[in-house]
Structure 1
Amino acid sequence: MTARLPLAATAPEACQLTVTALGRYAPAHVSVLLPLHDRLRRVAATGSWQIFATLPLHTGLAGRVFVSGRAETVRPTSDEPTLPPDVCAQTCVPLLAPTGTVVGVLTLDWTEPVALPAWQATAEQVGARLGARIAQLGGPPKESRDEKLLRHAANLTAAVDEAGLVDAAVDAARDVSGLTSAILLLARPTGLRLVEPEHPHDAPGDLECRIRRSLTRHQSHPTLERLTAWVHERGAAYTLAEDGTVGLGEQELPLPDGVGTLIAVPLGPAETGGLLLVADELVRRPDPTTVNLLELLAAQAWICLDRLRSLAGLRKRAGSDPLTGLRHYGSFGERITDTTPGRTALLAIDVDDFKIINDTYGHQAGDQVLVELARALETALRQGDELYRVGGDEFIAVIEVGRPEEAAGIAERLVTAARRVGRTISVGVAVQNDAESPERTLRRADAALYDVKRDGRDGVRLAAA
């Protein structure tokens, strides 16, 4: 191995040569892992069925040895996770450059009993020589553009909400382009709006912060709307600063001084999508591949954003009444599992004479009454109060109060709101007692509601504690 290592032209070739040499003499599965971004990538291994994969830097024995720079040997009886069935021990040593920097990890999964201390010493010598050769060759191989694009595509796909997606898209645009600043603008009902990342992996630089401040001041600037339409019509484009101004499509953009390079990439359809802007202080003419990669990232970001919006719409429809838009009985069942005795009040609401409305004017008229009442009752409630439709003409409000009289006062506001739209309602109010189940509280509210019905409707009754 010592004689052949100098002949290796690349780091992966040196790793494979080492693995092949060790594999001839060691009764073990041998592999070498090199760092790639925030993971360790297995670049060479013995065995026909070896899986070439990556793992997080801090995962398992290999991750620990990479971080610590100290060799370790473990057996199935140690505190390590269970080793594979045919492995009786595992040796892991760092690949050390002459400077002492860890550039990778060498692992041996032993399949036969051996003199482990002697083999660990040999593996450490091998690791030092392989590490020195990798350092001579310029260090571990860099992440290719294809690998970088796939990593960012996976991050976009893994985003669980719009904020996480924006963070991933901004980080990806900076990383893939090599430029310092990335800004995302999305179409909103009020026009094109700047979207601020919440927890980006890479901190924005000074230029990006100044661009964001400028765009925030000019979000309704017609130039941005025209630029978005222009880019969506013609595709991604870039511009270089001339005489201190930056423009695209004959539009001078409302950007701060210091922008040398600007790439504009369309995101989704013009009407509902947006615009990805990537910039740098230096005048750096981007190569076509960079622009194409940004287009691919923007396309993936839009696919993920559209999926998240569709899922959010489905969740909303699944949790709401299609007629009134209020949350329905299933959502109410989930809500009352999180009540506070002494503070949570349930208001059982019933529309007076609703059957007569349906029988006289038809169900379409009855539906219209429910919609009007739902809007009126929502308006009468305070911010944070919740209204549910749990039956044909039955509603329940869940509110937090300081005392029972406060709950009764809110119920009176609901009765007044119903009268304003020409209807009347009956409301039963119950505040949850200590050690009382929400279901029991609801039964007391229903009982108070029926007391109102018996007394002539159009009123409020507070249930006894």
Structure 2
Amino acid sequence: MDHQRVIRDVTVRLPMASSTPEACRWTVTALSRHTPATISVLLAVHDRLRCVAATGAWQVFATVPARTGIVGRVYATGVPAVVPDVSVDPDYLPVRPDVTAELCVPVLDPTGRAIGVLDLQWSEPTDLEPWRGTAQRLADGLGARIAALGGPPAESRSETLLRHAAALSSAPTEGEVMGAAARAAREVSTLSTALLLIGGQLGPSPATPSDLETRIRAELAGAGPVALDRMVDRAHRYGAGYTLGEAGHPPTEDYRPLTRAGVRTLVAVPVGPADAGGVLLVADERALRPDPTTVSLMELLAGQAWTSVDRLRTLARLREQASSDPLTGLRHTGPFGQRIAAATPGRTALLAIDVDGFKTVNDTYGHQAGDRVLVGLARALEAALRHGDELYRIGGDEFVAVIEVSRPEEAVRIAERLTEAARRIGRTISVGVAVPRPGEAPERTLRRADQALYAVKRQGRDGVHLSAA
């Protein structure tokens, strides 16, 4: 192989390339005439490597995270990779099943900064060492031409939207979804300010809000919830809308708070359903002219934001259902076990509660009547407890209250308040009280509270008994 000829044939037309993609395509196409390798050029675009040109591959990765694969390693370190056997390199990304060797070199700009990689993969025995120097010279020439043409291609708006959609999908809280949606709207629309309003609440303010956003937030706070509801209602009633940036046309009354803040350009997009959603406001104090494509992208973004919010709310409901009793709404065994595991010896009291005569209610009047008794009793006991006390349902008619007290007598008084609350709704309960001992397992404390409860049962029910310290 005459590697000098390879370099000459590949680089001869590079100065004539009028764009970065054209320079990359010419490099790959010309190089492929001299080797059967799978060849690709990947350039850094935001936080990923985008395949700008490729040939000879069954499948090409459109983008690769900046530190993924051999290509990501070479880009991150700036050090070429010569891999005679890809099966032993854990970073290898399979493109086709018969590849045996890979050579990857960084594409550098004239300052020595990595802007991408040139990657070659072979499926037949190849002497990689001569190709290493050739590939690096070709990559250097390509890097110089790319720099002269203005650098790697900019991220398209659709790529920007896709990147932000991934961030929305992974946001762990509703507030972070709203913040991510606002950042995405600003970047995709190129307008200076974006706010997401859901359920009457504005999303979090960015660390460095624009002056316009600060004024908008102040105006909306002063306008009150009725004005916010009008904006949301307008968006859901009529759909997405935008200004044309033309002077001499007054805004509708619904948007007066925004114009008082200095807004001259506005895209307003409904978010979610009318009864639970909100509106995405994307604004600028310059008089611009958004195009319909921008509005469509904002609608896609609003839809993704609502999907993410709805997912988080659904997960929260499922977690609540998994940790609470569906009949009474009280937390049940799992959370109770976690709570008593954190009990403070001498300070945390357990009140084991049993409904007197509950089996008779079920047998005489049916389970629906029994359910009504349990729900009514749960509400009565909750109301009798102090703020911070916790009530759990751990069985059919068995409840446990976990309370913080300074001495056992205080726990007994609270237990007596519970028995009085039950009597007021026509029921009676038996309550056993136990205070954890130093070094005592939580299960042992609960067992002592149960034993105290059964002592009440033996004495005629409708009472309180304190377990011996």
Percent of residue pairs identical: 61
1:37 aligns with 2:49: no
**Deviation by residue 1:301-345 (Cα, 9 ceiling, x = unmatched):** 223333333333333334332321212335445655655666554
1:208 aligns with 2:213: yes
- Conserved? CA contact 2:231–2:279, under 8 Å: no
- How far apart, CA to CA, are the structure 1 residues paired with 2:106 and 2:221? 49
Q: How does 1:42-81 map to 2 (within 5 A)?
A: 42-73=51-82, 81=90
1:182 deviates by: 0.9
Residue of structure 2 equivalent to 1:391? 395
The one-letter code sitting in structure 1 at the alignment partner of 2:256 is: E
Where does the alignment leave 5 or more consecutive residues of structure 1 unmatched? Answer: none
TM-score (norm 1): 0.84
SS of the residue 1:247 aligns to: coil
Residue of structure 2 equivalent to 1:180? 192
Q: How does 1:332-351 map to 2 (within 5 A)?
A: 332-333=336-337, 335-336=339-340, 344-351=348-355
Task: Number of aligned residue pairs: give it.
Answer: 457
SS of the residue 1:252 aligns to: helix
The one-letter code sitting in structure 2 at the alignment partner of 1:54 is: T
SS of the residue 1:253 aligns to: helix
Match of 1:414 among 408, 415, 418: 418
Residue of structure 1 equivalent to 2:263? 259
**Deviation by residue 1:153-199 (Cα, 9 ceiling, x = unmatched):** 33333334322321221122112211111111112xxxx332326xx
1:132 deviates by: 1.7
SS of the residue 2:43 aligns to: strand
Q: 1:50 to 1:386 in 2, by over 3 A?
A: same
Match of 1:196 among 197, 204, 224: 204
1:290 deviates by: 0.7
TM-score (norm 2): 0.84
1:223 deviates by: 2.9
The one-letter code sitting in structure 2 at the alignment partner of 1:369 is: V
Q: 1:208 to 1:69 in 2, by over 3 A?
A: farther
1:203 deviates by: 4.8
Residue of structure 2 equivalent to 1:458? 462
- Conserved? CA contact 1:245–1:252, under 8 Å: no
Higher deviation after alignment, 357-366 or 149-158:
357-366
- How far apart, CA to CA, are the structure 2 residues paired with 1:139 and 1:411? 75
Higher deviation after alignment, 448-457 or 311-320:
311-320
- How far apart, CA to CA, are the structure 1 residues paired with 2:216 and 2:161? 25
- Conserved? CA contact 1:214–1:255, under 8 Å: no
Q: 1:406 to 1:126 in 2, by over 3 A?
A: farther
- How far apart, CA to CA, are the structure 2 residues paired with 1:263 and 1:123? 49
Q: 1:217 to 1:29 in 2, by over 3 A?
A: same
Q: 1:239 to 1:86 in 2, by over 3 A?
A: closer
- Conserved? CA contact 1:426–1:457, under 8 Å: yes
Residue of structure 1 equivalent to 2:154? 142
Q: How does 1:232-381 map to 2 (within 5 A)?
A: 232-239=236-243, 247-248=251-252, 251-253=255-257, 256-333=260-337, 335-336=339-340, 344-359=348-363, 362-381=366-385
The one-letter code sitting in structure 2 at the alignment partner of 1:315 is: R
**Over aligned residue pairs, what C-alpha RMSD do you find?**
3.5
Higher deviation after alignment, 338-347 or 102-111:
338-347
SS of the residue 1:349 aligns to: strand
Q: How does 1:25-174 map to 2 (within 5 A)?
A: 25=34, 29-73=38-82, 81=90, 83=92, 90-109=102-121, 116=128, 118-174=130-186
Q: 1:281 to 1:437 in 2, by over 3 A?
A: same
Q: 1:43 to 1:262 in 2, by over 3 A?
A: same
Where does the alignment leave 5 or more consecutive residues of structure 2 unmatched? Answer: 1-9
- Conserved? CA contact 2:230–2:254, under 8 Å: no
Higher deviation after alignment, 205-214 or 331-340:
331-340
- Conserved? CA contact 1:182–1:276, under 8 Å: yes
Q: 1:376 to 1:248 in 2, by over 3 A?
A: same
- Conserved? CA contact 1:95–1:103, under 8 Å: yes
- How far apart, CA to CA, are the structure 2 residues paired with 1:174 and 1:250? 22
1:280 deviates by: 1.2
**Deviation by residue 1:223-265 (Cα, 9 ceiling, x = unmatched):** 3322322222211122378999973366522565332212211
- How far apart, CA to CA, are the structure 2 residues paired with 1:24 and 1:435? 79
- How far apart, CA to CA, are the structure 2 residues paired with 1:180 and 1:251? 18
